[in-house]
Amino acid sequence: MNHVIIGNGIAGVSAAQAIRRRDDTAAITLIGDESGYFFSRTALMWVFMGRLERRDLEPYERHYWRENRFDVVHDQVVTIDPVKRELTLRSGSTRGYDRLLLATGSEASRYDWPGRELQGVCTFTTLGDLDRLEKYWRSGVRRAVVVGGGLIGIELVECFHHRGCRVQFLVREPWYFKQALSRQEASMVHDRIVGRGCEVFYNEEISRFDGDHGRLNSLVTRSGRELSCDVAGIAVGVHPRIGLARRTGLECNRGIIVDRSFRTSIPEILAAGDCAEISDSGRSSGLVQSLWYTAVKQGLAAGRAMSGEEIVFDPGIPYNAAQFFGLDWLTVGWMNDRKPDLTESAWLDRDAGRSIRIAHDDRGRVQGFSMLGGRYQAAVLQRWIEESRPVDHVMGRLDQEAGFDEEFTPAAAIRRIQ
């Protein structure tokens, strides 16, 4: 069996590993266009901050691929011929496949702002973006603006601040990361940002970029605010990378449409990870998950499907984790924004920088957690949701059973605020 995987990111690599675990003899090829070897995209920010080198980004030593007989190809797939089951690569070579997995991931979104092609306007998801930012810094950056109040946005703020320039942060919503954080939680993040000497502006959207000789020197917001800047980091979202899938004639919506077994509209072609849209037939909008964690799950499941296993993918209880300028955040389950019939209770210890927000149903059974400023075991929080535990049960056992802070961390003096 000849498996070919387009995309050597975490979804593609997880699938490859899942296949190899089940089939020691199968041929497995990984084709990546961005880098020859799988690297941790989430770690780009630390390379920019000088805490990691590019080589450190690779989770596996180079001999790992050879030893596990993964054929690693650094090239770009230009066309897929589903009839001949053949790929044509940019280098001109062709590859046959028995089963094909598209794991092409996401790409950064941009909108049609005037001036967006000016030198200095940059997104931050790829190695190429990292190269571009390094190039800008070599010619000197004194002022940077970050656009987009989400997870990549806050990382850019931290990155730019670390490299030593004035940083101004533009957030479209009334508070940071409104899609996931409460106003209270966002205010703690706000304090962090401001405490480090950066500025944040809320309810602001980009109107246009202005420059001189092709080089960015300022931007203007919809409200008329003008900010001078040498670099503008754009972090307004990502969308599935589906150009190749579209050209091949695969059914696509926002992502490549797949069923719960990751099958696309063409036989023997699967898709998984950020690029996939899991759709139960007949629905207008399927599930697109653009996180590292979900890409791992989908990749592993898709690999098992490619090995011939009957898979009905269950996303499970959702979770995500991030760090806002050093402030730990973990969310598990569903909060009020996802399930409006849930009630939320909140606890706060402002001095310790710790906030707990729990969503529960009308019988007091926990359905979701948003934990800021402490470390917890996601698996325990998930278990409590699965077991429909009441809020009191959870709060009485939170530190002992779910706590994951380092030793000697003082207990937080949390008080109920909601």
Partner 1 sequence: MTAAMASPATDRAARFWTASLDDRGWPAWLLAIGLATFYLLLYYTEVFTRLLPRSLDGKADKWTLYGILYTLAIVWGGVNFIRRNGRSRYQVIRTGVVILVQVVVALAIPTLMRFLGGKEFYFSYLWPLKIEYFYPQVIFSYPLPFVFYSFLGSLLVVPLLAVLFGKRFYCSWVCGCGGLANTFGDRWRHLSLKTRASWRFETVSIHSVLVLAVATTVIVVVNWGIGQSHPGLAAFAFRVQRFYGFVIGFILSGLAGVALYPLLGTRIWCRFFCPMAALLGLIQKLGRYRIATQGELCIACGNCSKYCEMGIDVRSYAIANESFTRASCVGCGICAHVCPRGVLKLELIKTTLS
Query: 75 or 325, CB closer to partner 1?
Result: 325
C-alpha 87/C-alpha 75 separation (Å) is: 11
Q: Interface with partner 1 by CB under 8 A: which range of 39-47, 97-105, 117-125, 278-286?
A: 39-47
Give the tokens for residue 344: 């939320």
SS (HEC) of 2-17: EEEEECCCHHHHHHHH
CA geometry: angle 337, 343, 344, nearest 5 deg: 80
DSSP character for 50?
A: T
3-class secondary-structure state, position 321 = strand
Q: What are phi and psi of 163, to 5 degrees?
A: -80, 0
Max CA distance (Å), the chain: 66
Distances (CA, A) of 289 to 84, 127, 253, 349, 369: 31, 22, 14, 32, 19
Query: 27 or 43, CB closer to partner 1?
Result: 43
Task: HSE, CB side, 13 Å, CA atoms: give it for residue 361.
Answer: 8
**405 touches partner 1 by CB under 8 A:** yes
Query: 13 or 257, CB closer to partner 1?
Result: 13
Q: Interface with partner 1 by CB under 8 A: which range of 101-109, 171-179, 271-279, 326-334?
A: 326-334
> Binding-site residue total for partner 1 (CB under 8 A)?
46
Query: 167 or 171, CB closer to partner 1?
Result: 167
Q: Interface with partner 1 by CB under 8 A: which range of 140-148, 211-219, 271-279, 337-345?
A: 140-148
Query: 22 or 116, CB closer to partner 1?
Result: 22
**334 touches partner 1 by CB under 8 A:** no
C-alpha 341/C-alpha 282 separation (Å) is: 26
Binds partner 1 by CB under 8 A, chosen from 1, 26, 52, 346? 52
Task: Kindly state the smallest distance separating residue 381's Cβ from partner 1, in Å.
Answer: 11
Residue 155 makes CB contacts below 8 A (sequence gap 6+) with 45, 124, 235
Q: Interface with partner 1 by CB under 8 A: which range of 79-87, 261-269, 323-331, 356-364?
A: 323-331
Bridge partners of 257, per DSSP, are 277
Task: Kindly state the smallest distance separating residue 60's Cβ from partner 1, in Å.
Answer: 8
Q: Interface with partner 1 by CB under 8 A: which range of 169-177, 207-215, 388-396, 405-413?
A: 405-413
Residue 319 makes CB contacts below 8 A (sequence gap 6+) with 293, 330, 331, 332, 333, 378, 381, 382
**217 touches partner 1 by CB under 8 A:** no
Binds partner 1 by CB under 8 A, chosen from 161, 192, 241, 360? 161
**396 touches partner 1 by CB under 8 A:** no
For 151, other C-beta atoms within 10 Å of its C-beta total: 19
**379 touches partner 1 by CB under 8 A:** yes
Q: Interface with partner 1 by CB under 8 A: which range of 23-31, 100-108, 319-327, 336-344?
A: 319-327
**319 touches partner 1 by CB under 8 A:** yes
Query: 252 or 394, CB closer to partner 1?
Result: 394
Interface residues for partner 1 in 175-204 (CB under 8 A)? Answer: 197
Query: 282 or 410, CB closer to partner 1?
Result: 410
Binds partner 1 by CB under 8 A, chosen from 165, 346, 352, 395? 165
**2 touches partner 1 by CB under 8 A:** no
C-alpha 288/C-alpha 256 separation (Å) is: 9
Taken in order 295, 298, 300, 303, is the CA torsion positive or negative? negative
Give the tokens for residue 30: 């990984």
Distances (CA, A) of 337 to 28, 160, 342: 42, 31, 9
Query: 342 or 349, CB closer to partner 1?
Result: 349
List contacts with partner 1 (CB under 8 A). Answer: 10, 40, 42-43, 46, 50-52, 56-59, 61, 63, 137, 140-142, 161, 163-167, 197, 292-293, 319, 321-323, 326, 328, 330, 375-379, 404-410
